[in-house]
Protein backbone atom coordinates (compact mmCIF):
# COMPACT_ATOMS: atom_id res chain seq x y z
CA UNK A 1 0.00 0.00 0.00
CA UNK A 2 1.36 3.42 -0.96
CA UNK A 3 2.03 5.89 1.81
CA UNK A 4 0.32 9.28 1.47
CA UNK A 5 2.45 12.40 1.62
CA UNK A 6 2.21 14.41 4.82
CA UNK A 7 0.36 17.74 4.63
CA UNK A 8 2.34 20.97 4.36
CA UNK A 9 1.07 22.01 7.77
CA UNK A 10 -0.49 20.32 10.77
CA UNK A 11 -4.24 20.46 11.02
CA UNK A 12 -5.80 22.27 13.93
CA UNK A 13 -7.70 20.18 16.46
CA UNK A 14 -11.43 19.74 15.76
CA UNK A 15 -12.35 22.06 18.63
CA UNK A 16 -11.23 25.04 16.51
CA UNK A 17 -13.74 24.33 13.70
CA UNK A 18 -16.26 26.73 15.24
CA UNK A 19 -13.76 29.56 14.88
CA UNK A 20 -12.04 28.58 11.63
CA UNK A 21 -15.29 28.15 9.66
CA UNK A 22 -16.57 31.71 10.27
CA UNK A 23 -13.03 33.03 9.73
CA UNK A 24 -12.74 31.45 6.28
CA UNK A 25 -16.35 32.27 5.39
CA UNK A 26 -15.94 35.92 6.36
CA UNK A 27 -12.69 36.28 4.43
CA UNK A 28 -14.14 34.79 1.24
CA UNK A 29 -17.52 36.51 1.39
CA UNK A 30 -16.16 39.98 2.19
CA UNK A 31 -13.52 39.56 -0.52
CA UNK A 32 -16.22 39.01 -3.17
CA UNK A 33 -18.84 41.42 -1.84
CA UNK A 34 -16.40 44.29 -1.26
CA UNK A 35 -14.98 43.79 -4.76
CA UNK A 36 -18.44 43.99 -6.33
CA UNK A 37 -19.50 47.01 -4.26
CA UNK A 38 -16.22 48.87 -4.85
CA UNK A 39 -16.22 48.05 -8.57
CA UNK A 40 -19.82 49.23 -8.91
CA UNK A 41 -19.07 52.42 -7.02
CA UNK A 42 -15.75 53.36 -8.66
CA UNK A 43 -15.68 51.36 -11.87
CA UNK A 44 -12.63 49.47 -13.10
CA UNK A 45 -9.33 51.27 -12.91
CA UNK A 46 -6.63 52.44 -10.56
CA UNK A 47 -9.10 53.89 -8.03
CA UNK A 48 -10.71 50.47 -7.69
CA UNK A 49 -7.37 48.77 -7.08
CA UNK A 50 -6.39 51.43 -4.54
CA UNK A 51 -9.67 51.36 -2.57
CA UNK A 52 -10.64 47.68 -2.65
CA UNK A 53 -8.15 46.44 0.00
CA UNK A 54 -9.38 49.09 2.44
CA UNK A 55 -13.02 48.29 1.68
CA UNK A 56 -12.32 44.59 2.15
CA UNK A 57 -10.49 45.08 5.46
CA UNK A 58 -13.25 47.24 6.90
CA UNK A 59 -15.97 44.85 5.79
CA UNK A 60 -14.06 41.88 7.22
CA UNK A 61 -13.63 43.63 10.58
CA UNK A 62 -17.42 43.86 10.77
CA UNK A 63 -18.25 40.48 9.20
CA UNK A 64 -16.08 38.18 11.30
CA UNK A 65 -17.38 39.15 14.75
CA UNK A 66 -20.91 39.33 13.31
CA UNK A 67 -20.61 35.75 12.07
CA UNK A 68 -19.33 34.62 15.44
CA UNK A 69 -22.41 36.14 17.07
CA UNK A 70 -25.08 35.05 14.58
CA UNK A 71 -23.93 31.54 13.63
CA UNK A 72 -25.49 29.90 16.71
CA UNK A 73 -28.81 31.58 15.88
CA UNK A 74 -28.52 30.55 12.23
CA UNK A 75 -27.83 26.95 13.25
CA UNK A 76 -30.98 26.93 15.40
CA UNK A 77 -33.09 28.40 12.59
CA UNK A 78 -31.72 25.85 10.11
CA UNK A 79 -32.42 23.09 12.65
CA UNK A 80 -36.05 24.18 12.73
CA UNK A 81 -36.29 24.14 8.93
CA UNK A 82 -34.26 21.02 8.02
CA UNK A 83 -34.67 17.46 9.26
CA UNK A 84 -31.77 15.99 11.17
CA UNK A 85 -29.75 13.34 9.31
CA UNK A 86 -31.20 9.84 9.60
CA UNK A 87 -34.84 10.90 10.05
> Is a pLDDT exceeding 90 seen at residue 8?
no
Q: Are 58 and 26 in contact (CB under 8 A)?
A: no
pTM of the model: 0.76
pLDDT at 4 over 80: no
Task: Give the pLDDT confidence of 40-87 residue by residue, as tens digits.
Answer: 999 999 999 999 999 999 999 999 999 999 999 999 999 999 998 887
Evaluate whether 55 touches 34 at the Cβ level (below 8 Å): yes
Interval 9-47: pLDDT, tens:
899 999 999 899 999 999 999 999 999 999 999 999 999
The domain spans of the chain are 19-78
Residue 1 has what pLDDT? 58
Amino acid sequence: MARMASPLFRKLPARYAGLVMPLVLSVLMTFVVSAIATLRSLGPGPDFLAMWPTAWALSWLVAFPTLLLVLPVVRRIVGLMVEAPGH
